[in-house]
Chains A and B, each alone.
Chain A
Amino acid sequence: DQQVKQNSPSLSVQEGRISILNCDYTNSMFDYFLWYKKYPAEGPTFLISISSIKDKNEDGRFTVFLNKSAKHLSLHIVPSQPGDSAVYFCAARWTGNQFYFGTGTSLTVIP
């Protein structure tokens, strides 16, 4: 049962434009959401997070938006850079210890 879904397996964006990666979840008990970036042959690296009590968190070029009523999470990258090309995973934590990951979206930023 996939509780966290990333329905777009891939996304291509022109350099300098905005990248929007989306994530949907089913469990309203999730209390913390994270985005990770992964390069080939490496482990995921933490990018940005948001608590369920907030609806927006910003860190430089990266902004995460949380819409709890829609159970939807999005990551905005602006402006997009070629070095942003990677696979992006969203993840959610329940009040237990488990982190649930989406299947990832492969972002390609075209120079």
Chain B
Amino acid sequence: NAGVMQNPRHLVRRRGQEARLRCSPMKGHSHVYWYRQLPEEGLKFMVYLQKENIIDESGMPKERFSAEFPKEGPSILRIQQVVRGDSAAYFCASSPSRDRPDEQYFGPGTRLTVT
């Protein structure tokens, strides 16, 4: 059973470009969480999605950031017009159920660098 997969592992973008981060949850998992880790900080919740639904996006910046989890395919975190402050590690996690928080499995992360 493959774990949570994220790609790319490293992404370099120039200021103003778009960044697309992909997360394939574990088989059978329909809940996806996205987190951002800035340098010297802990992981910060961004968004929680179920298939085709955004359940909680209270941690997402109001502009430039969006997330989706379509019926087919991976979850996508999209950052438009990236700025240097977006440079961070972005982790996704998947779980089979919201009611078992200890069953949240993390991917290896995507390290975004904005130049």
Contacts and interface: CB of A to CB of B under 8 A. Distances in A.
B109 A43 contact: yes
Nearest to B111: A41
B4 A97 contact: no
B93 A49 contact: no
Contact of A44 (B41, B44, B91): B91
B58 interface: yes
B16 to A, nearest CB: 28
A43 B101 contact: no
A96 B6 CA distance: 25
B93 A89 contact: no
A34 interface: yes
B42 A104 contact: yes
Contact of B107 (A43, A46, A100): A43
Nearest to A103: B42
Contacts of B58: 98
Interface residues of A, number: 25
B43 A89 contact: yes
Contacts of A4: 42
Nearest to A96: B56
Contact of A98 (B6, B56, B105): B56
Given A44-B91, A97-B55, A103 B106 contact: no
B69 interface: no
B96 interface: no
Contacts of B93: 43
Given A97-B48, A97-B55, A43 B42 contact: no
Interface of B: 4, 6, 33, 35, 40-45, 48, 55-56, 58-59, 91, 93, 98, 101-109
Given A2-B42, A46-B103, 5 more contacts: A43-B106, A43-B108, A46-B104, A91-B43, A99-B104
